[in-house]
Amino acid sequence: MLNREQEIARRRTFAIISHPDAGKTTLTEKLLLYGGAIREAGSVKSRKAGNYAVSDWMEIEMQRGISVTSSVMNFDYEGYRINILDTPGHQDFSEDAYRTLVAADSAVMLLDGAKGVEEQTRKLFHVCKMRGIPIFTFVNKLDRVCKNPFDLQDELEKTLGIHSYPVTWPVGVDGVFKGVYNRALRRLELFQTSGSHGSQKISSIQIDISDPDLESYIGAEAAQNLRDDIDLLDHAGDSFDLQRVLAGELTPMFFGSAMNNFGVQQFLEDFIKMSPAPGKRNSTKGLIEPGDESFSGFVFKIQANMDPKHRDRLAFIRICSGRYEKDMSVYNERLGKPVRLAQPQQFMAQNRAMVEEAYAGDIIGVFDAGTFHLGDTLHSSKESFCFDPIPMFPAEHFAAVSAMDISKRKQFVKGIEQLKTEGAIQVFHNPDYGNDKYVVGVAGALQLDVLAYRMQGEYGVQLRVESLPIQYARWYTPEDATLDLPQYSGDVTRVTDSLGRPVILFASRWALQKVEEKNTHVKFLDIAP
């Protein structure tokens, strides 16, 4: 039996951040394969990058309402408990992807070796950086022609502002991939493929860098290049500093091919050792220690069950301290009363399992009949407190929405309110619109279609959606500042968010820049605190 401290120390809770198609589904699966959670890869459902229609997406979401297999997964590996949080990435990119990072203790940044840092990765990285969580980089698809690894390191520094420390180093990025060199072990692991998309684990062949046979394995030129690269890295590169890694200033970098299982196990083994166990969390009564006796956690995601026959939802709770016991009652700080965490579930590859107990770092999904709101603090402490609120992350698509049939106004308002508490949409009030029309913002374009679909299906309201030519929303401090804004321009719109805070919506980057230049006394924020 492990005690609470030991249970916490063995937990690793992370999210994979990447751009669609970099191989997140594949890597997740391979981690599950090496973790023994699945016996054969090829079973985790991929939400493909293809151009699927909204109805297909709904179909997937409905199935997910029943089996939320890919939201959170956990497995044990060498005594560690690994919790992987899924960040929606394709057309279903939404604020959930950002919010998931608030629940994670570290992030794995997965890059396609040929493409480097892509847009969605950059956006998600920005949130990790803001939270100061450690970021581990896995460069994937090394079996194909890839960018030069030194250039990739440069790219990380220039586009993301983070230094990297290659833990492994690839040999042959020109399409004739030979393997990866492990700098700590001073050994080269030869690339091999089982030829079956890596559905089974592979065994590895390793050669010492000083082995005279190295040349015969990889060729004289590749061996010389490797020695030169290592020399350069050792003398001119950053040295490994775990404190800088934990502060999110240095990213350990790994190379491999998830599809071929290559480099995955090595990555997993180093990752569990370098990444942090659940840490302290900020609250209104100061830092909450994961080892605290009393239970605490917060709701970071609400997954609606879109089957109109079952209006229940799942609320996902990140546990921050104490011990969760089955069916326990905890205090909901917003409601000011106790609530029961009923039918708690954890997710393992294809299956859900009832949770008997859980600790800081764990994620549980509880049955929710509409009680929970996004960001709710739950605890069993005698003293009242709230965790830091979950920020509002940048929406990028905006529309004015109203009910087609004005007599449905009540249902319209109810639906919009509920979808707001789920975090599916951001709602803004434009004083020119009156009370029958709102501005809504979403992070992924498909979310507007989803909104219309759900308003019809769940609230019986046919929605009028007028897409708005807005690209950026900015909060600002101080909120009472006098702003110099263009008088008669459609480029800039003043609104308030659902908490009554002033927000400015901009039609273009140009308009945003102009306003920033004219108002240097004000700070414009893309993420609302």
Name the residues that contact ligand G4P, by CB under 6 A.
18, 20-26, 46, 49, 140-141, 143-144, 257-260
CB of 108 to ligand G4P, least distance (A): 12
Q: Pick the closer one to ligand G4P by CB: 347 or 359.
A: 347
Q: Which is nearer to ligand G4P, 46 or 513 (CB)?
A: 46
Instruction: Identify which of residues 144 and 501 has a Cβ nearer to ligand G4P in the complex.
Output: 144
Smallest gap from Cβ 379 to ligand G4P, in A, equals 35
Sign of the CA dihedral running 201, 203, 205, 209: positive
299 Cα distance to chain centroid: 15
46 versus 489: smaller Cβ distance to ligand G4P = 46
- Which CB atom, from 146 or from 250, has the smaller least distance to ligand G4P? 146
| Nearest distance, CB of residue 23 and ligand G4P, angstroms | 3
3-state percent helix, strand, coil for the chain, nearest multiple of 5:
30, 30, 40
Q: Is the peptide bond before 478 cis (omega within 30 degrees of 0)?
A: yes
DSSP 235-292: HHSPPP-HHHHHTTSEEEEEE-BTTTTBTHHHHHHHHHHHSPPP--EEETTEEEPTT-
Please give the biggest Cα pair distance in the chain: 83
* Min separation Cβ 68 and ligand G4P, Å: 17
Q: Which is nearer to ligand G4P, 7 or 86 (CB)?
A: 86
Q: Name the nearest CA neighbour of 441 among 496, 512, 479.
A: 496
> Helix H segments across 104-219?
119-131, 149-155, 214-218
Tell me how far, at minimum, the Cβ of 480 lies from ligand G4P, in Å: 44
Structural tokens at position 393: 């992350």
CA distance 507 to 519: 17
Smallest distance from ligand G4P to CB 18, Å = 5
Helix (H, G, I), strand (E, B) or coil at 185: coil
Residue nearer to ligand G4P on the CB measure, 60 or 230: 60
Task: Write down the least CB distance from residue 500 to ligand G4P, Å.
Answer: 39
Compare residues 176 and 404 and give the one whose CB is closer to ligand G4P: 176
Q: What's the per-residue H, E or C state across 28-44? A: HHHHHHHCCCCCCCCCC
Cβ contacts of 280-284, under 8 Å, gap ≥ 24: 281/320, 281/321, 281/387, 281/388, 282/387, 282/388, 283/377, 283/385, 283/386, 283/387, 283/388, 284/385, 284/386
Nearer to ligand G4P, 26 or 275 (CB): 26
- CB 13 to ligand G4P: min, Å: 20
Q: How far apart are CA 132 and CA 126, in angstroms?
A: 10
Q: Looking at the chain, how many residues does it have? A: 529
CB of 22 to ligand G4P, least distance (A): 5
Helix (H) or strand (E) holding 449: helix 446-459
Give the nearer residue to ligand G4P in terms of CB position, either 9 or 114.
Answer: 114
Shortest Cβ 171–ligand G4P spacing (Å): 16
Q: How far apart are CA 137 and CA 253, in angstroms?
A: 5
The distance of closest approach from Cβ of residue 522 to ligand G4P in the complex, given in angstroms and rounded to an integer, is: 38
Q: How many other CB atoms are found less than 10 A from the CB of residue 406?
A: 9
Please give the C-alpha separations between residue 378 and each of 4, 74, 314, 329, in angstroms, as whole numbers: 19, 22, 15, 9
Closest CA to 463 of 415, 525, 501: 415
Contact between 282 and 387 (Cβ < 8 Å) = yes
Taking the least distance from each CB to ligand G4P, the nearer of 115 and 437 is 115
For ligand G4P, the closer of residues 24 and 313 by Cβ is 24
Could you tell me whether strands 523-525 and 363-368 are parallel, antiparallel, or unpaired per DSSP bridges? unpaired
Do the Cβ atoms of 138 and 108 come closer than 8 Å?
A: yes
Rounded to the nearest whole angstrom, what is the least distance from the CB of residue 26 to ligand G4P in the complex?
3
CB of 127 to ligand G4P, least distance (A): 18
Residue 116 or 344: the one with the smaller Cβ distance to ligand G4P is 116
DSSP secondary structure string for all residues of 486-515: -SS-TTEEEEEETTS-EEEEESSHHHHHHH
Task: Count CB neighbours of 204 within 10 A.
Answer: 16
